[in-house]
Structure 1
């Protein structure tokens, strides 16, 4: 169940160009209208999902409940294993379902090319959180399926057996904790999930824990993000140091996402940086392997600002309505029902996408720690795609897996260089790209 990944760094640039070319404001058609309309909610709709593990079970229950409320609508699901790669390519056609999760390869200025607006950002924000994350020119295009906090999942029983009972407050304490696990237990301290790739992008979701809400504007404004004192440096440096110290799996090319759940649940692995969406899956794995869901906890990243932990929160994938749908009212009805009535966010241990929801039980460790929740501020008007333009031009897939896979390779000695030389290379590419984009 991939969250954010791309198949190759070269594909990122090529795909961005393809997406730009395949749609335009001129051919947006009904994309300029409100899809809620006043027509009868009826017709067949196809809903694309990345939840290959739920499509034949839980999602069939959703279908039954939704169709009971809307008997004139027939819902069919299409589960896509390589969601980012396959659906991003399909956006070059008109065949990408009626409701779909907005791929991360779509920049904000491209949203009108592929999706119908759901209303103004102000209107939609009266009901839903995280609206600005998929909005452009005052219009909202997506509703989050759930919300996530950022940090890392731990098998708390393993950490406690190594003498660590509280979340580390600094990178040094974090590394020391992993070393204690290596020295005193049989567990692998950290698991990269390198082979599947996309889990490495979860590190990027932690931007904001140091820099705060304006982190993306700061990133777009700097020529050297991989320099000491910068947030990007701090995050990627920590991953490098974990691998460099031999605290991750011996051969990252053999990792497996589905198996990693069992490994962490059973205590064979102690730690993985993932969004809070992963907690319930790890708890299920713990119970399936003879352990307890109570063994699994979610901790904030080992950085504090003025003595306070922070966790970046945001929406997960956003459901959107295809601009090519023949049944926009039915498609919009599914988007609203899924967010408000399906119970998906609660079952996933996620933050509710609706305004006013409470923290889930999966974040029970946060309250006594006084964790500050940080929501990323939207880019200023006219700069919605500035950051993505820079990293696409630099061919550095911040939300992908390629550049972090190379980071892991350098750290484990499977690629030339060291941390400084690789960070120098990234800074040069970033600086050149920023100069090209900003003129």
Structure 2
């Protein structure tokens, strides 16, 4: 099983949902320093991970064995956690949340020094790594991304071609017409929401902020945009498209019965036409195609259906950030694991993801974007803390599925209301939060 990645800026980390969640003590001043001599680093460390599949199939043990070739005195233990966000959030009320962990999305960026050891000066680390701004607090970096992901629609190209569509839709209207053609001409579900699992309605859709406007600061601007669900705004375009897909009957019949793991095989077999996900999913879906005996090359990737000056844009975002527990007794060993896993393991390449190392090229999984001059938008994180504060005060939850689940329910008639009224409600809550918390 592969639990969802948080997807970078979409992870728009909120303040902790558990009141207080005060497992951390005073903010750390001790840097988890990269060790100079591997032979001098020792200790047993525990790594918490959402990649339960890689723990269960032994892949993480293989990584640890390779790591031990360089760091023979460090013993690495893995804990794969299915409900990663929920369980780790609770564990962080104590000091027992591993030595290395992926930063849960519910932790506000400004609270990172309470829970994690700094990894170094951001200005210095930014020369080498992408996405350091995501975990910057007062000039220090508190997490290094496991990899980067680019947002877009994974789709079964054979299904789209059977429906007579060979070119990428350039507008939401064209996209809806394409899904209508899939519905009319194939036996596939045009779009699969993965409603029940929840996360596919949060990060992939919120991660599209910036793709519509081709604006690296689109997410930052939410900190003082009073009505973001106004026609022309990124969130308006994004959420209206989701609403219209559902309202037009272009999704599965009963969204409450969806299943993420099953959906991989379904799209590989041509039973599903399209899903909005990060590029991290491409490799998994192609693996599912191999297991299903279908052509892995049928799994394609297209940008959000919107253009700026005739060009597609796609957000480039950080996945989960690896951090060192402020309470760890083996911070050097923990930092050694993070550095090795980021730079030497080949994990990002294996996953078909974007390397965190700036010197590395884009992966072949993004060849459709590279060949069609899609512009990569690496979103600014300069005001993430402010956006988080507004989001928390509004109680909307850009990084949570709840408000889009309600949107889907309104669109399918399971809840009272309409799109105009719901957007007005969201705008009212957001504008009030901007004035109070912004």
Q: TM-score higher than 0.5 here?
A: yes
Aligned to 1:363: 366
Judged with a 3 Å threshold, the aligned counterparts in structure 2 of structure 1 residues 424 and 213 are, in CA distance, closer, same or farther, namely: same
Q: Deviations over 1:56-106 (max 9, x none)?
A: 321111011111211101000001101111112211110100000011111
Aligned to 1:176: 177
Aligned to 2:131: 130
Aligned to 2:418: 418
Q: State the alpha-carbon separation in 1 of the partners of residues 320 and 15 from structure 2.
A: 21
Q: State the alpha-carbon separation in 2 of the partners of residues 13 and 196 from structure 1.
A: 22
Aligned to 2:108: 107
Q: State the alpha-carbon separation in 2 of the partners of residues 235 and 144 from structure 1.
A: 26
| Gaps in structure 2 of 5+ consecutive residues | 8-13
Could you state the TM-score of these two structures normalised by the residue count of structure 2?
0.94
Q: CA deviation at 1:369?
A: 1.6
Match of 1:354, SS state, is coil
Q: State the alpha-carbon separation in 1 of the partners of residues 105 and 198 from structure 2.
A: 15
Q: CA deviation at 1:34?
A: 4.4
Match of 2:191, SS state, is coil
Q: CA deviation at 1:28?
A: 2.8
Could you state the TM-score of these two structures normalised by the residue count of structure 1?
0.94
Aligned to 1:33: 31
- Which of 283, 286, 301 is the aligned partner of 2:286? 283
Q: State the alpha-carbon separation in 2 of the partners of residues 80 and 16 from structure 1.
A: 19
Aligned to 2:10: none
- Which of 2, 5, 22 is the aligned partner of 1:3? 5
Aligned to 1:8: none
Q: State the alpha-carbon separation in 2 of the partners of residues 183 and 301 from structure 1.
A: 22
Q: State the alpha-carbon separation in 2 of the partners of residues 243 and 110 from structure 1.
A: 37
Q: State the alpha-carbon separation in 2 of the partners of residues 398 and 167 from structure 1.
A: 27
Q: CA deviation at 1:3?
A: 2.4
| Gaps in structure 1 of 5+ consecutive residues | 6-11
Aligned to 1:207: 209
- Which of 349, 352, 362 is the aligned partner of 2:352? 349
- How many residues align? The count is 426
Aligned to 2:320: 317
Q: Deviations over 1:365-394 (max 9, x none)?
A: 112221000011232xxx551100011111
Match of 2:300, SS state, is strand
Q: Deviations over 1:23-72 (max 9, x none)?
A: 46xx234x433433668210000000000111132111101111121110
Match of 1:297, SS state, is strand
- Could you tell me whether the CA contact under 8 Å between 1:4 and 1:400 is conserved in 2? no
- Could you tell me whether the CA contact under 8 Å between 1:4 and 1:84 is conserved in 2? no
Q: State the alpha-carbon separation in 1 of the partners of residues 227 and 305 from structure 2.
A: 23
- Which of 280, 293, 301 is the aligned partner of 2:296? 293
Aligned to 2:343: 340
- Could you tell me whether the CA contact under 8 Å between 1:35 and 1:116 is conserved in 2? no
What value does the CA root-mean-square deviation take over the aligned residues?
1.6
Aligned to 1:396: 396
- Could you tell me whether the CA contact under 8 Å between 2:149 and 2:278 is conserved in 1? yes
